[in-house]
Amino acid sequence: MTTMPNWLKQRAFLTPERTAVRDGERAKTFAELYEASASWARRLAAAGVREGDIVAVLMKNRIEMIEIVHALFLLGARALLQNVRLTPYELGWQLDDSGACLVIADDGLADRFGGDGRVVTIGALAALLEADVPLKETVELDETATIMYTSGTTGTPKGVLQTYGNHWWSAVGSALNLGLHEGDCWLAAVPLFHISGLSIAMRSVIYGMPMYIQPSFDPKEANGLIMGGQVTIMSVVAAMLQRMVAELGEARYPDTFRCMLLGGGPAPQPLLEACKEKGIPVYQTYGMTETSSQIVTLAPEYSLTKLGSAGKPLFPAELCIMQDGKQAAPYEAGEIVVKGPNVTKGYLHRPEATERALRDGWFYTGDIGYVDEEGFLYVLDRRSDLIISGGENVYPAEIEAVLLSHPDVEEAGVTGVEDETWGQVPYAFVKRKQGAAADEDELKQFCRQRLAKYKVPARIYFIDALPRNAAQKLLRRELKTLIPEAEKRASRL
Ligand code: ATP
Ligand code: MG
């Protein structure tokens, strides 16, 4: 087992005066961050936290949340990071599933747990006296550091075990790809309870790099921070980037801004093209909770020639495409399978799911994609959402991307519906932009010009909002419930 010095303690020893984290109002050095974390750790010990415990954390993006995570590391406890958008039922389900012994919640979020006796608010924790306990000086790379539940896009969420080694190699792999520049500062506007946000906090302490926290995403402020040269790298999902590009107007980012790391889901082609036109340095990435953030990223020199690709594996990782138990040929679609020291050791209390996903050291992602002859990955869709129509594979994401490129369409979701002739046919659900009037015929015509006939949606419904989970991801499996009753009877579904 590999042992390392505790990251924050080591960082505070090596470069104590460097800025670790700032938000709009405050800044803390690594030395200050360590002192604050150590103090929380002693209070958490007073609240009963012991080595090996699972402790849930329900907090919004702020400096204290980073301190609490480090405090749990200093006690050897495991941080279960919970999404603040979850309902009380979902939060409670995660507590039961994980067996968490304590919950640390922002003062304003504690009521989400009803009267659960395990909840301690930040305010109450601050009022506790520090216990005189020894703090851990090391981390073991094989030990679980954090637990995050998957978004539950394809089924019931599963608790992903993320080890110190996973976080370490994720940070190292990212640095080997993006480099580390003097003056780098990473903007965290994505939630810290997701791996996209937490991985910024891990890189910050491992690299000795400041991070900037936005309590909640604000496109105008984010653009301002980039324009002012205060941040040099930012992590985004497509919807965030869309709003930033719209807000930016004709302005262009300065050269100090070197990386817009785009992940979390498919990247619409029109958005990538708009960014290319505006000179925004977009790095497409592919990753998931189970890979402790990116595992495949498009290196900068290919951002234009391989537009739409998620890139190649990070240096410590490997990738292959499996089809019918064999490695697929270039351009042949199959399941994306990955390997690397940033890949999870499994799911909490789910031996069968772990066995299904991890085979011979390879992790089966449940996503479909292909690689080109040079090994660049193109993500097509999730395996569970694949539509098979007349024997042809139809990827909902491809149809959604076409619909989204129509000027009247704000959001689009596609799912397969049973059909007597074809087995399944795609149905689309569209939210139009305000005041937009494109009707079903017009959108079908638009699709016909851009898609093979069997991919053109058999029906297009207009709805006010698409079903999304707490991670704002589209729940395609729920789209079918939106088909009007009359229609269901007519087609004898
Ligand atoms: P669940 O596993 O419970 O269904 P989830 O997979 O949505 O939830 P996450 O780990 O947050 O939970 O998301 C990872 C998934 O996001 C990937 O498996 C993939 O489907 C999608 N994704 C990530 N990056 C990309 C990308 N570049 N292109 C397309 N899809 C992506
Ligand atoms: Mg998943």
All structural domains of the chain, each given as residue ranges with its CATH number in brackets, are 3-371 (3.40.50.12780), 387-490 (3.30.300.30)
Structure-derived torsion over alpha carbons of residues 23, 24, 26, 30, reported in degrees to the nearest 10: 30
pLDDT of residue 488: 67
* Integer Cα distance of 88 and 94 in angstroms: 10
Q: Is 153 in the pocket of ligand 1 (CB under 6 A)?
A: yes
Nearest to 212 by CA among 69, 63, 23: 23
Helices 7-14 and 63-75 cross at an angle (nearest 10°) of 110
* Integer Cα distance of 267 and 194 in angstroms: 19
Cα 102 to averaged position of ligand 2 atoms, centre (Å): 26
The continuous run of DSSP H or E covering 380 comes out as: strand 377-382
Q: What are phi and psi of 143, to 5 degrees?
A: -80, 150
* Integer Cα distance of 121 and 123 in angstroms: 5
Q: Six-digit token pair at 251?
A: 């302005």
* Integer Cα distance of 281 and 186 in angstroms: 14
Q: Is 286 in the pocket of ligand 1 (CB under 6 A)?
A: yes
* Integer Cα distance of 468 and 81 in angstroms: 20
pTM: 0.93
pLDDT along the chain (493 residues), means of 10: 96 98 96 98 98 98 98 98 94 96 97 93 98 98 97 87 98 96 97 97 98 96 98 95 94 97 88 91 96 92 85 97 96 97 97 96 97 97 91 91 93 93 94 94 96 94 91 89 73 52
Mutate-to-test residue for ligand 1 from 286, 335, 365, highest number of ligand atoms within 8 A of CB: 286
pLDDT of residue 486: 62
Structure-derived torsion over alpha carbons of residues 237, 243, 245, 251, reported in degrees to the nearest 10: -140
The continuous run of DSSP H or E covering 33 comes out as: helix 30-46
Mutate-to-test residue for ligand 1 from 147, 148, 151, highest number of ligand atoms within 8 A of CB: 151
Nearest CA to ligand 1 atom 29: 266
Radius of gyration of the chain from Cα atoms?
A: 23
Nearest CA to ligand 1 atom 13: 288
Cα 151 to averaged position of ligand 2 atoms, centre (Å): 7
Q: Which ligand is closest in space to the CA of residue 471?
A: 1
Q: Six-digit token pair at 175?
A: 């640095």
In this structure, are residues 205 and 74 in contact, taking their beta carbons and an 8 Å threshold?
no
Q: Is 310 in the pocket of ligand 1 (CB under 6 A)?
A: yes
pLDDT of residue 490: 57
* Integer Cα distance of 199 and 85 in angstroms: 20
Q: Write the DSSP assignment of 247-284 as a string of letters.
A: HHTT----TT--EEEE-SSPPPHHHHHHHHHTT--EEE
Nearest CA to ligand 1 atom 30: 265
Nearest CA to ligand 1 atom 15: 288
pLDDT of residue 1: 80
Q: Is 63 in the pocket of ligand 1 (CB under 6 A)?
A: no
Strands 362-371 and 377-382 turn out to be antiparallel
* Integer Cα distance of 329 and 326 in angstroms: 9
Nearest CA to ligand 1 atom 25: 265
* Integer Cα distance of 9 and 19 in angstroms: 15
The continuous run of DSSP H or E covering 353 comes out as: helix 351-357
Q: Which residues of 71-94 are buried (b: 16+ CB within 10 A; e: fewer)?
A: bbbbbbbbbbbbbbebeeebbeeb
Nearest to 213 by CA among 357, 410, 19, 428: 19
Neighbours of 294 (CB within 10 A): 29
Mutate-to-test residue for ligand 1 from 82, 319, 367, 382, highest number of ligand atoms within 8 A of CB: 367
Atom number of ligand 1 nearest to Cα 473? 7
